[in-house]
Structure 1
Amino acid sequence: MTVIHPTAVVDPRAELDDTVEIGAYSVVGPDVRIGAGTRVGPHVVIDGHTTIGRDNQFFQFSSIGGAPQDKKHRGEPTRLEIGDRNLVREFCTFNCGTANDAGVTRIGSDNWLLAYVHIAHDCVVGNNTIFSNNASLAGHVHVGDWVIMSGFSAVHQFCKIGAHAFVGMTTSITQDVPPYVLISGNPSAPHGINIEGLKRRGYTREQINALRNAYKLIYKSGLPLEQAKQELARLESETPEAAEALRAMRDFLDSSTRGIAR
């Protein structure tokens, strides 16, 4: 049976799997769905049209599924969707989406979201990310898989951070960060490829060297970005063992709307 502390307030219309645990003084709203094995600690508020997957853990004092902090929001029934096996520490705030975007904020699976993390409306966060204490995303930010956001880092609205990027402590992001890039500072500046992270995830020496060459084309060659992308395509054809990673880099550059941090 679902374990609900007697001091918790759970709306009878909420859909909770039989194995969900709800801690003392927590509040669960009527449009919330929570999957099997998820544990909600004390003093957590889960509201809005929020769907949470399996085996997540929410520590105390978080606010999940609150209305977006957007003056244009008029109470539309927007959503928050959270995947499986996420760890959500104290005082996190995740907001629902807005009608001005896709209407949903999405957080994937297997993420570590540490204390005071803020994920604003219409953000999309991938899988296997780490957000250290006080990392914050403004609205409409997209973060790829395996990204690490260090403590007190912050991202401007509508920016994108590519997969496997590493964002240093107190970094302020105002433009897109390509995949695999290590970036830090305020103002932010790129500092090479996230080599250590790629090694930990099984990238080969050949793949890492190809990505280092791609970084040099973008940041060190002095080429205009369009010409650097053409050289990336050539590098991709010459290094088939790294073609997928290089293609991800090139696709990201093609899709950037705010321009990349350079």
Structure 2
Amino acid sequence: MSKIDPTARVEDGAVIGEGTEIGPFCIIGPNAVIGANCKLIGQVTVIGHTSIGDGCVISPFAVLGGAPQDLSYKGEPTRLEVGSGCSIREGATMNVGTIKGGGLTRVGNGGYFMNNSHVGHDCMVGNNVIFATSATLGGHCEIGDFVYIGGLSAVHQLTRIGPQVMVGGLSGVRDDIIPFGLANGQYAALEGLNLIGMKRRQFTKQRRATVQSFYQKLFHGPGTFAERLAAAQPLAGEDPAIAEILDFIGKRKHRPICLPAIEK
């Protein structure tokens, strides 16, 4: 059975999963659904139409399901969905979506969100991400699996970050970052591939060398980027990671592709 501290306020209609602990002074709204075996340590606020998966641990002063920071929002019943096994630390915030953005903010499984990190409205965040202290997403961002965003970094609205990317601390990300990329800087530039992350994901030495060779041709070869991109298309068959990078670039939406500083 769930365990609810007598000082917590759980509104009628809220659903609390089996084995979940609601600590002192938590506020749980009437449209909240909290999965099994979660632990809300204390002074956690879960409001709006928010669902939280099983096994999440949420630290004090986190606010999940708050209204979007968007002037067009008029109180519509939009949603926030948080996956299972997430750790959400002190003061982290995640907002529900907006009607114009599809009405949903989604966070995947196994994420680690350090203190004061923020997921804006209508963002789509993948699995096993790490947001360091005060890492911030503007609205409508798309973040792939196994992404690491360094402390005090901010991602501009409508930006895409591919899977297995590492963003350095104190970075301002305003361009789309290719899968497996390493980006850093006040106006973040591409500095190479996240080779340590690739190694952790069981990429062999040969695969890493193949993708590195492709990267050098695409971003540091002769000619313009558009010319190099066209020439690189036949390389998609050399490795699935190369195909993934090319597909990501081909699906460009609102932002340009993040390039090395020499290209900017």
Equivalences for 1:208-247 in 2 at 5 Å? Answer: 208-237=208-237, 239=238, 242=239, 244-247=240-243
Structure 1 stretches of 4+ with a deviation exceeding 2 A read 222-233
Aligned to 1:69: 69
Matched positions, count: 258
1:173 aligns with 2:169: no
Partner SS, residue 50 of structure 2: strand
Deviations 1:174-211 (A, max 9, x none): 11011111000012111111001111110111221122
Distance 1:233 1:206, change over 3 A: farther
Return the TM-score normalized by structure 1: 0.96
The answer (yes or no) to whether the contact 1:232–1:246 under 8 Å persists in 2 is: no
Work out whether residues 236 and 246 of structure 2, in 8 Å CA contact, stay in contact via their aligned partners in 1: no
Q: Could you say which residue in structure 1 is the equivalent of 2:262? A: none
Work out the CA distance in 2 between the residues paired with 1:63 and 1:163. 26
Percent identity of the aligned residues? 36
Say whether the 8 Å CA contact 1:217–1:223 is kept in structure 2: no
Match of 1:46 in 2: 46
Task: Name the CA distance, whole Å, in 2 between partners of 1:183 and 1:10.
Answer: 43
Rounded Cα–Cα distance in structure 2 between residues aligned with 1:234 and 1:108: 33
Letter in 2 for 1:57: V
- Is residue 255 of structure 1 aligned with residue 251 of structure 2? yes
Q: How does 1:14-33 map to 2 (within 5 A)?
A: 14-33=14-33
Please list every run of 5 or more consecutive structure 1 residues that lacks an aligned counterpart in the other structure: none
Normalised TM-score (structure 2): 0.95
Alignment RMSD: 1.1
Cα-to-partner distance string for 1:210-261 (whole Å, 9 max, x where unaligned): 2212221331114434433333332223x2xx2x211110111011121111
Please list the CA deviations of residues 112-131 of structure 1 after superposition, one character each: whole Å capped at 9, or x if unmatched.
11010011100111001111
- Structure 2 contact 127–144 (Cα < 8 Å) conserved: yes
Q: Is it true that 1:114 corresponds to 2:114 in the alignment?
A: yes
Any gaps of 5 or more consecutive residues in structure 2? 260-264
Q: Name the SS for the 1:251 alignment partner.
A: helix
| Deviation sequence 1:77-126 (CA, Å, 0-9, x none) | 10000001001000001000000111100000011110100111001110
Q: Secondary structure at the match of 2:64?
A: strand
Check whether the contact 1:183–1:191 (CA below 8 A) recurs between aligned residues: yes
Would you say 1:131 and 2:131 are equivalent positions?
A: yes
